[in-house]
Amino acid sequence: MSHDVQKIIDNSNGFVQLENRTYHCAEDILVSRPIVLQGCPSTKLLFAPNKGLRFENASKSTVKQLKIAGTGTHGQLLGIGTNGNSCAKILFEQVEIAGGFRNMWIQKSLSLLFVRCTFKDATGSEVVKFAGGPDATHGVDNAEFLSCNFGSHENPQATVLLMDGKVHGVKFINCPFLFGMHGIVLDRSNPNWQKPKCISIIGGGFENSFGNGLRLLHGDDIRLDTMYLSTDGKMDGIYMASAFEGRLKVANSIIRGNGRDGIRAAGGRLTVTGCDIINNGGRTTGDGIRLENNARDFVITGNFLGEGPDGTNKQRYGLVNNVGSEHGWVYGNRFRGNIKAAFGGSKSNSEYFAGNQRV
């Protein structure tokens, strides 16, 4: 049957309408030129183990109303530019991917758009992966996800989305990241690769993961706005590793009920404005925001930290500052409960910690 689908694609004039049924695919299906691949509400490509749909040199393609499913011990159900052949300006709309060792791996690509797509239940170490190789052949530039769902309901050890290496200019709008170990991980597993940067997460949020909602090991210019973050394990909602040297800006968000700290900054530069950071420390001793010694600069303003209006508050302190006041500012916040700070440095306590209110 996969030979039939491949033949339809190869012999088409650039438009393929698949029937409203399941296609059993024993081999990979390769798209290597611009094409419109249109399914119906119940069109499914069911792949044999370790097989999937591949896009190589298929710029300006469109895929709509398609379900992709399968199993495997390696590989991915949807691969984009994974053989080093660039793909640009591809639209995926109402595509559902379920199962496989990995749902999707995006490598050499530019300007991808995903609208109302679903990624779930891979058996490998991550559900979706970006880059993961040398910059020139594996980098990802500019991808946008609108109202897409990401989840790892069946595999609590999987990272839902991993960005490893050169991943630049990716935006998620109204996208939830559910279950699994970590929601999103930014990393650079080879020191010669570029690091992920210019990543925006607007709306949606993170829930039910057993690790960190957002785990920043390497990267820069990360922005979170108007989102919700809650985790189920014993770890922090947001974790910035000591090796992280970039900037994270969090605004207008709710960070509540995480297992340890709402935000733990062991490195990097942190700005938090207009957020409710409440009822954290649910599984182990934790705080609202914890600034560790390698954090470099911070601005914390206009937030509510402490006990929230619902649930049981186990948050020990709204703020723990182990960095020293010369590295940043805390002003205009409302604290319900305690504040613990190692002020130190050249600024006076009042200069560093001004205009805050305990309620």
pTM, two decimals, is: 0.95
Q: Which domains does the chain have, with CATH numbers?
A: 103-358 (2.160.20.10)
Rounded to whole angstroms, the Cα distance separating 282 from 236 reads 10
What is the model's pLDDT at position 1?
Answer: 56
Whether the pLDDT of residue 349 is over 50: the answer is yes
- Least Cα distance to 24 among 53, 50, 44 occurs for 44
Quick one: 237 exposed, middle or buried, by C-beta within 10 A (0-12, 13-18, 19+)?
buried
Rounded average pLDDT over 276-305: 91
- Least Cα distance to 289 among 302, 307, 306, 268 occurs for 306
In which band, very low, low, confident or very high, does the pLDDT at 289 lie, cut at 50, 70 and 90?
A: very high
Rounded to whole angstroms, the Cα distance separating 259 from 232 reads 6
Whether the pLDDT of residue 341 is over 70: the answer is no
In which band, very low, low, confident or very high, does the pLDDT at 344 lie, cut at 50, 70 and 90?
A: very low
Span 137-182, pLDDT tens digits? 999 999 999 999 999 988 999 999 999 999 999 999 999 999 999 9
